[in-house]
Amino acid sequence: MENTYKIKILTPTHIGSENEPLKEGFDYFTEKGKTHFIKWTEVFKDDRLSYEVEKEIISGFLSDSLKSELIQSKLTTVKQNLSLKGDVREHITNRFTGNPIIPGSSIKGAIRSVLLNWLMEKTGEKQNAREKFINKKQESSINKKQESSLQKKFFGVSSDGSDFMRFFQVSDVEFETEPDYIASKVLSMGRDYISIWKHGPNIKDKNKKFKTEGFTTNYQIIPLNSISEHLKISWEKEKWEKELKKNRKEQNDIKDKFSLFVDKIEEEIENLRKRNNRSPRDERKLRELKNIHNVYRLLNEFSISKLFQIINDYTIAFADKEIEFHNKYNQAQYSDKLVEAWHEIKKLAQQAQEAGNKYAILRLGQGSGFHSVTGDWQFDTHIITGIKEKDKKGKIINRGVINNKEAAKTRKWAFRINGNNPEFFPMGFIAIGDVPENLKFESQILDKKSQSTGNPKPQPEPPKAYEPTWKSLKNLKRGDIIDAEVTGFEKPYILCKVFVEEIKDKIFKVKYNAGKEPGTMLQLKVNNIEGKGENKRLPEILTLYKVINHGQ
């Protein structure tokens, strides 16, 4: 049965195309603070303009006069508040309309990963697989051959037409909108397990502070909150059951569960149970057959509404792991915003649950990361326990490790800037199903469009209490800055205590005719130091360097 659903873009979503990246200075350029993306299909409809552009491309650059004409001719998409440098990775589009699309295969692949996690959990196979693949003394996590074995075990075999996902169909989805653009930055981990923003290929280019430039990746994306009402999902249960029951006498390998009669599986289980003195091989076969039967039972209960429930459960559990990760590795600037973003994703999935799982919060595409792509069944946590710098061949890989197995120590975060205030997004989250109109990823910054619709501006947070730095008198030298707190006023002097250990109870004076309220924090400059050694002291009257606007 085929159902038609909505699909809504919640965070920056990018599905890569096979085209070359968009080039700065050729496919887009910046002028007077605005970024202009050239619509080549429109340019080449104008023979005169086409000739001028072609001539200048051959010469190696676009002149200012031609750029101006392109803008005036409205042959470009103008974006503001962008900080793009270098190539822009192009999103897959309908080549006839130019509209961005999400292929059904991308949605289906993301769903498959979530279902793998669910089936492994429900059958108890997750723990077995971890013991088999993770607790081995091999350095890497699951390799392609092992992954293929798991996929075959739970979904069937594509070569004989019995693959479960073959009977689960998802359509391509087109969005009737022009694409948008966004930059992304990598949050990485230093050797001392300190989170850092990566600004370049070398360790010297890494810093806890966030920068908009350096080692960014630019993406063409589907605009946030874009909606399509043309997502078609069908689950052909009858065809799947018919395929299961086909008699394939030539295939009797129990590992290919979909090649066996369901009743034959039950019959073999019963025969093994009755067998006295079962050998270790019999025991393994019995466990395998029970597991196959459990998988069949679970898939036999499968439905679209059940699928949405499974996805929402998965997203909440995934968000909890990422919240734990970013709370632990919170040294990089704006770590609090990263945690806030994951709490927002978790809230969206919980809202979907409260609405009866009529829709689901799913992740796909670029920036999803290792844990999402693999179905996140390998580890109970995303907290890394080590960093592996080289593989067996000596190649530098610099990867995270959990229980001696490779995991993810980096995260890709999309960002946009409003003044000096960055907003961060985990990439690739969409809502599918009967999606409410008002569902959205709550912006950390209200953009101009939302403000113009009458939404109230966000109220600024009250300033945090200033945290003074304690210093030692013996280490002070001329020119140093020390913190102080106002205790009173004797015109023309402010009276204050300084945050210097050896003289913390002594009162000093600072000339300031207007006075300041007790509790106000100051910074004072040490212009002179009297005496030496144990006789070292500050003069009674100190020099004001800066007034801190809020107290403790």
- Give the position of tokens 């999103």: 91
Task: Give the pLDDT confidence score for residue 419 in this predicted structure.
Answer: 67
Cβ-count burial of 503 within 10 angstroms (0-12 exposed, 13-18 middle, 19+ buried)?
A: middle
Q: Would you say residue 459 lies in a domain?
A: no
- Give the position of tokens 């500050």: 538
Long-range (24+ apart) CB contacts under 8 A made by 85-88 are: 85/24, 85/213, 85/216, 85/218, 86/24, 86/216, 86/218, 87/21, 87/22, 87/23, 87/24, 87/218, 88/21, 88/22, 88/24, 88/27, 88/28, 88/181, 88/218, 88/219, 88/220
DSSP-derived secondary structure for 460-472: PPPPPPP----B-
Based on the domain organization, do 143 and 205 belong to the same domain? Answer: yes
Task: Give the pLDDT confidence score for residue 145 in this predicted structure.
Answer: 53
Task: Give the pLDDT confidence score for residue 259 in this predicted structure.
Answer: 41
Cβ-count burial of 139 within 10 angstroms (0-12 exposed, 13-18 middle, 19+ buried)?
A: middle
Please list, in sequence order, all residues whose beta carbon lies within 8 angstroms of the beta carbon of residue 324, skipping any fewer than 6 positions away: 381, 382, 383
DSSP-derived secondary structure for 392-448: TT--EEEEEEETTEEE---EEEEEEEETTEEEEEETTEEEEES--TT-----SS--H
Based on the domain organization, do 336 and 229 belong to the same domain? Answer: yes
Based on the domain organization, do 292 and 321 belong to the same domain? Answer: no
Record the pTM.
0.71
Based on the domain organization, do 140 and 231 belong to the same domain? Answer: yes
Based on the domain organization, do 312 and 224 belong to the same domain? Answer: yes
Based on the domain organization, do 82 and 216 belong to the same domain? Answer: no
Q: How far apart are CA 54 and CA 47, in angstroms?
A: 10
Strands 217-221 vs 88-89: parallel, antiparallel or unpaired = parallel
**Residue (of 137, 130, 131) closest to 392 by Cα position:** 137
Average pLDDT along the chain, 552 residues, taken 10 residues at a time: 89 91 82 76 70 64 70 65 79 88 94 88 72 51 53 63 77 92 90 87 78 89 94 84 56 43 64 80 74 70 87 95 94 93 96 95 93 85 83 71 81 85 93 94 56 45 72 86 90 90 90 80 86 86 77 45
Give residue 431's Cα distance to chain centre. 16
Q: How far apart are CA 348 and CA 346, in angstroms?
A: 5
Q: Would you say residue 247 lies in a domain?
A: no
Q: How far apart are CA 258 and CA 247, in angstroms?
A: 11
Based on the domain organization, do 372 and 503 belong to the same domain? Answer: no
Q: How far apart are CA 244 and CA 238, in angstroms?
A: 10
Please list, in sequence order, all residues whose beta carbon lies within 8 angstroms of the beta carbon of residue 172, skipping any fewer than 6 positions away: 101, 102, 103, 104
Structural domain harbouring 538: 473-547
Q: Would you say residue 314 lies in a domain?
A: yes
Task: Give the pLDDT confidence score for residue 193 in this predicted structure.
Answer: 87
Based on the domain organization, do 125 and 166 belong to the same domain? Answer: yes
Mean pLDDT over each residue of the chain, to the nearest integer: 79
Based on the domain organization, do 440 and 497 belong to the same domain? Answer: no
Task: Give the pLDDT confidence score for residue 525 in this predicted structure.
Answer: 85
Q: How far apart are CA 489 and CA 480, in angstroms?
A: 24
Domain end point (choices 452, 481, 506): 452
Please list, in sequence order, all residues whose beta carbon lies within 8 angstroms of the beta carbon of residue 230, skipping any fewer than 6 positions away: 4, 171, 173, 174
Q: How far apart are CA 516 and CA 492, in angstroms?
A: 11
Q: Would you say residue 15 lies in a domain?
A: no
What number of other Cβ atoms are within 10 A of residue 176's Cβ? 12
Domain end point (choices 41, 56, 89): 89
What number of other Cβ atoms are within 10 A of residue 393's Cβ? 6
**Residue (of 213, 215, 162) closest to 186 by Cα position:** 215
Tell me the per-residue pLDDT of 210-228, one tens digit each, with 9 for 90 and over.
Answer: 988 888 999 999 999 999 9
What number of other Cβ atoms are within 10 A of residue 404's Cβ? 16
Q: Would you say residue 94 lies in a domain?
A: no
Q: Would you say residue 186 lies in a domain?
A: yes
DSSP annotation of 257 = G
Based on the domain organization, do 312 and 296 belong to the same domain? Answer: no
DSSP annotation of 273 = H
Based on the domain organization, do 295 and 365 belong to the same domain? Answer: no
Q: Would you say residue 438 lies in a domain?
A: yes
Q: Would you say residue 417 lies in a domain?
A: yes
Based on the domain organization, do 355 and 335 belong to the same domain? Answer: yes
Total tally of structural domains belonging to the chain? 4
What number of other Cβ atoms are within 10 A of residue 22's Cβ? 19
Strand runs (DSSP E) across 281-418, as ranges? 359-363, 386-390, 396-402, 405-407, 411-418
Task: Give the pLDDT confidence score for residue 350 in this predicted structure.
Answer: 96
